[in-house]
Amino acid sequence: MAVCIAVIAKENYPLYIRSVPIQNELKFHYTVHTSLDVVEEKISAVGKAMADQRELYLGLLYPTEDYKVYGYVTNSKVKFVIVVDSSNTSLRDNEIRSMFRKLHNSFTDVMCNPFYNPGDTIQSKAFDSMVTAMMVQAS
Amino acid sequence: MADDVLFEFLHMEMVSHIYKDQASRGEMEKDRATCVSTLEGMGFRVGQGLIERFTKDSPSFKDDLDVMKFICKDFWINVFRKQIDNLRTNHQGTYVLQDNKFALLTQFSNGKQYLEEAPKYLAYSCGLVRGALSNLGMDCVVTAEVSLMPSCESLLSSSSSSFIIYHHTTPNITDTTEMF
């Protein structure tokens, strides 16, 4: 269960960012912002290594004392960042991957929506409800 | 396989609808350019959405040539049910894609007839490719020519690369018709 989910555009501004404990929202914004550097590093590093299969899933970007940050980049250079609570150690890699998969599918649907202009913030209710389902329930 | 035909009819109607407004207003040259750019803009937006869907499961592309190969094979197959027949490059950012039997033009003629009408029907596809490429990170100018002997007229814009796509309907056409 994620604590914060963010979708960042190719030009590195947020298209969609949502976190669960509303009072600490600014801290999550900051965490996501710093994780962008790590994402850039991973993208350019893979390019130089000339790997055969470049995966879209980037894996654990960096752990902080309370949270772990995971990243995923699409072929159109849109980045998804998920922040999860470190205390929730039962979350396995597969589950994170499936969360990213769902995010990517919903994002593709948003992209294909004729009422959505690429570059705007995401306002789709369907996307919202999908993200809510993935986040921790606020107590 | 009736599904290909559905898009062809829709496309024909799109073009005639856009040009119908222009004809009623009377002014020829300026409005013709707006019609072409309207069609190209439509294609651009669709291309962006399509590429998001098509690249959902494929791994990242290594370089520009990889992206062009993807466009020539997977993308063209998904949209027009066939591959690009020939891809040429000068390795400096210019690519020429050749399609010997472009799906949206096959119904027109087998010779020079209707050659001057062809550009209208290529605008949307140019926009499609431009939208797809821009979403993959390559900004470019896409032009299309209907001819037999393609003379390499490249339109270099301020961005780093330019692409030229040639659509041939048959080997008998000798005039060239320029799009942009």
ipTM, 2 decimals?
0.78
- CATH number of the structural domain spanning residue B142: 3.30.1380.20
B95 within 8 A of B89, measured Cβ to Cβ: yes
Within a domain: B180: no
Query: Above 70 in pLDDT, residue B13?
Result: yes
Of A46, A53, A112, the CB nearest to B53: A112
Contacts of A10 in chain B (CB under 8 A): 137
Q: Model confidence over B92-127: pLDDT tens digits? A: 777 777 777 777 777 776 666 676 777 777 788 888
Q: Minimal Cα–Cα distance from A23 to chain B, Å?
A: 34
Domain total for chain B? Answer: 1
Asked whether residue B173 is domain-assigned, the answer is: no
For residue B11, the model assigns a pLDDT of 87
The confidence score (pLDDT) of residue B158 equals 28
Secondary structure of residue B51 in the 3-state scheme: helix
Task: Identify the contact set of chain B against chain A, taking CB-CB distances under 8 A.
Answer: 45, 48-53, 55-56, 58-62, 135-137
For A85: left if phi > 0, alpha if psi spans -120 to 50, otherwise beta; the answer is beta
- Contacts A76 to B, Cβ<8 Å: 48, 51-52, 55, 135-137
pTM of the full structure: 0.78
Look at residue A139 and tell me if it is in a domain: no
Residue B162 three-state SS: strand
pLDDT, tens digit, for every residue of B66-92? 888 888 788 888 888 877 777 777 777
Average pLDDT (B1-18) is 82
Q: How far is CA A41 from CA A37, A89, B55, in A?
A: 6, 26, 22
pLDDT tens per residue, range B121-135: 778 888 888 888 888
Alpha-carbon distance B131 to B74, whole Å? Answer: 16
Per-residue confidence band for B2, with pLDDT thresholds at 50, 70 and 90: low
CATH of the domain at A25: 3.30.450.70
Strand, helix or coil for residue A7: strand
Is the pLDDT at A139 greater than 70? The verdict is no
Structural domain boundaries, residue A115 = 2-134
- Whether residue B26 is contained in a domain is answered as yes
Q: State the Cα torsion B35-B37-B40-B45 to the nearest 10°.
A: -110
Which residues of A fall within a CB distance of 8 Å from B48? 76, 111, 118
- DSSP class of B59: P
Which structural domain, as residue segments, surrounds residue B82? 2-167
Residue A84 lies in a domain: yes
Q: Classify residue A43: in a domain, yes or no.
A: yes
Question: What percent of chain B has a predicted confidence (pLDDT) above 90?
Answer: 1
